[in-house]
């Protein structure tokens, strides 16, 4: 995937934004249990 990022940074940006949205969606549905399981994330 490193090659794809170098070829088109725009793709990495879209992927990153999508990843963030997915994480937020999971946190909202899974609950605080995930946050407690991985406190290093903040």
The rounded distance, in Å, linking the Cα atoms of 3 and 42 is 30
Q: Which residues contact 5 (CB under 8 A, 6 or more apart)?
A: 11, 12
The rounded distance, in Å, linking the Cα atoms of 23 and 29 is 10
Mean pLDDT of 7-29: 76
Q: Read off the pTM.
A: 0.39
Query: Does 41 have pLDDT greater than 60?
Result: no
Give the residue with greater pLDDT, 42 vs 18: 18
Structure-block tokens of residue 29: 């549905």
Query: Does 18 have pLDDT greater than 80?
Result: yes
């Amino acid at each position: 995937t490193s090659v794809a990022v170098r070829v088109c940074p725009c793709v990495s940006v879209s992927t990153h934004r999508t990843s963030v949205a997915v994480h937020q969606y999971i946190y909202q549905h899974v609950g605080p249990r995930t946050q407690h399981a991985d406190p290093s994330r903040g």
